[in-house]
Amino acid sequence: MKKVAIIPLRAGSKGIVGKNKKPILGRPLFCWILGEAIESLLDEIYIYTDDQWILDFIKNEYSWTQKVKGLKRSDESASDTASTEFAMLEFAEKINCNFEAIFLLQATSPLTSYNDINEACNLIETKQYDSIVSVVKTHRFTWSNKGESLNYNYLNRPRRQDFDGLLIENGAIYACNKETFIKNQNRLGGKIGILAMSEETLTEIDEESDMLIIEKLLENKLKRNKQNKKIKYLVLDVDGVFTDGTVGYTKDGESFKSFSVIDGMGLEILRNNHIIPVVITSENSDIVKSRMKKLNIEHYYPGIKDKYSFLNNLIQKLNTDRSEIAYIGDDINDLANICASAWGFCPGNSIPLVKQYADLVLQNKGSEQAIREAVEFILKLNNRYN
């Protein structure tokens, strides 16, 4: 069964201007659902948007996966009055209905996990249901505007554990087989299956204050999944970690960056202890490329903006997981990996925000033995498992 997902994004968000691109833990909002979709059982994921910046971002940053595609939506489907169904039908026509099941994923629900998406895939593939809607079970009591209790007797208020609660759409995932979608011209129809998700996913982003709540929920989600094992990989950013974060320029362009020889020896010691260094940077510099070659860094990946999704993909290829990863970064585009890796480090000269999220703020600065300090910490940590 070919499973195709649409993630509809509008450039003209009125409630929160530029909402879909706003950073959450250093990643544009839409990257959170996109990253989970990439890891899922979906066959193709389309970012369907009228925002050219997002389309360019998709083209430039996700070349490492064949699953992600950007597709321009019409101005009419991106208007304030257009329904999501209108956009979905337009999208289906543009790809000639080349799917057996269509999935609607919402960027405003960044707490959705690939496991949630996989469960929806499985429910559709069994053909027990024609469509799927994601819900959250809540134990809240509801009232009408006439002062009438709707789902409980206020004279006999039940305890939470004795209350069945009610199911509420969380707006995160919808799925529908092709026949039902075309027949009903709707995301739902036929026999509808229920996909239960965690209660925290009831929070969507509609107001600015929701951004702060979601960011904290995402941080807690990443950190509570941390596990400590013997570290097998040290993943490093470049600017601000290998270097002090400054760069020299002449009229001909970039001319120099400063690297620590002591840090270089630290990476050699790391390899001698069977720990592999991995370098992921958003920049694409000939100077850095030369330095990585000199250091014999086999796993060097330049020009990566969404480091979190890229590292998740790389982890699968390396047949490891986050519990065996330590990460060093210094700026906001490192936040998600710092939170999610078994150990998240930052150099002493990192921005204050990053220091708030790091497991360990190193005493030394970037280019001034911060890497060597992290290496010595990891070696002591790994000795516990010997």
Domain end: 222, 242, 259, which one? 222
Q: Is residue 32 part of a domain?
A: yes
* Statement to judge: residues 142 and 110 lie in one domain: yes
pLDDT attached to residue 249: 80
> Are 269 and 377 in the same domain?
yes
Query: CB 113: neighbour CB atoms within 10 A?
Result: 18
> Hey, CA dihedral for 95, 101, 106, 107, is it positive or negative?
negative
Q: Is residue 249 in some structural domain? A: yes
User: Are the C-beta atoms of 300 and 283 separated by less than 8 Å?
Assistant: no
pLDDT tens column, 157-174: 998 788 888 899 999 999
Last residue of a domain, one of 192, 222, 252: 222
Asked if residue 96 is part of any domain, the answer here is: yes
Q: Tell me what pLDDT residue 12 has.
A: 78
Which of 297-300's residues contact partners 24+ apart within 8 Å by CB, and which partners?
297/267
Res. 254 pLDDT band, cuts 50 70 90: low
pLDDT at residue 314, rounded to an integer: 96
Find how far residue 32's CA is from the centre of its chain: 3
Residue 90 forms part of a structural domain: yes
User: For residue range 197-232, what is the model confidence (pLDDT) as tens digits?
Assistant: 999 999 888 888 899 999 999 999 999 989 889 999
Q: Quick one: 161 and 101 in the same domain?
A: yes
Q: Which residues of 7-20 are buried (b: 16+ CB within 10 A; e: fewer)?
A: bbbbbebeebeebb
CB 124 within 8 A of CB 42: no
User: Are residues 139 and 275 part of one domain?
Assistant: no
Among 88-102, 245-259, 316-330, the least confident range? 245-259
- Tell me, yes or no, whether 228 lies in a domain: no
In the block, tokens 């362009």 appear at: 253
Same domain for 259 and 158? no
Tell me the backbone φ, ψ of residue 328, rounded to 5 degrees: -120, 125
Q: Which tens digits make up the pLDDT trace of 30-72?
A: 999 999 999 999 999 999 999 999 999 999 999 899 999 999 9
- Both 260 and 181 in one domain: the answer is no
Most distant CA pair in the chain, distance: 79
Inter-helix orientation angle 114-125/29-39, to 10°: 50
CATH classification of the domain holding 187: 3.90.550.10
- C-alpha distances out from residue 321 to 25, 312, 331, Å: 20, 8, 23
User: How far apart, in Å, are the Cα atoms of 382 and each of 230, 237, 321?
Assistant: 5, 22, 16
Tell me what pLDDT residue 248 has: 81
Residue 124 and residue 82 share a domain: yes
Instruction: Examine the domain organization and report whether 213 and 256 are in the same domain.
Output: no
Average per-residue pLDDT in the chain?
94
Q: Which of 32-46, 140-154, 244-258, 361-375 has the lowest mean pLDDT?
A: 244-258
Question: Domain limits at 27?
Answer: 3-222
Q: Could you tell me if 82 and 136 lie in one domain?
A: yes
Q: How many CB atoms lie within 10 A of CB 203?
A: 17
In the chain, the DSSP E strands lie at 3-9, 23-24, 27-28, 44-49, 68-72, 101-105, 131-138, 166-177, 192-197, 233-236, 248-250, 253-256, 276-280, 299-301, 325-328, 343-346, 360-361
Give the side-chain half-sphere CA count within 13 A for 385: 10
Domain count, the chain: 2
Q: Phi-psi bin for 56: left (phi > 0), alpha (psi -120 to 50), beta? A: alpha
SS3 73: coil
**Same domain assignment for residues 39 and 61:** yes
Does residue 227 sit within a domain? Answer: no
Last residue of a domain, one of 222, 249, 264: 222
Residue range 257-269: mean pLDDT, rounded: 95
**Residue 244 covered by a domain:** yes
Strand partners, 149: 143
**How far apart, in whole angstroms, are the C-alpha atoms of residue 175 and residue 121?**
8
- What are the structure tokens assigned to 257, written together? 């960056």
- Residues 125-165 have pLDDT tens digits of 998 899 999 999 988 899 999 999 999 999 999 987 888 88
Pair of tokens at residue 274: 């069977």
203 and 237 share a domain?
no
Residue 252 belongs to a domain with what CATH number?
Answer: 3.40.50.1000
Domain co-membership, 155 together with 202: yes
Distance, CA of 156 to CA of 146 (rounded, Å): 20
Give domain status of residue 309, yes or no: yes
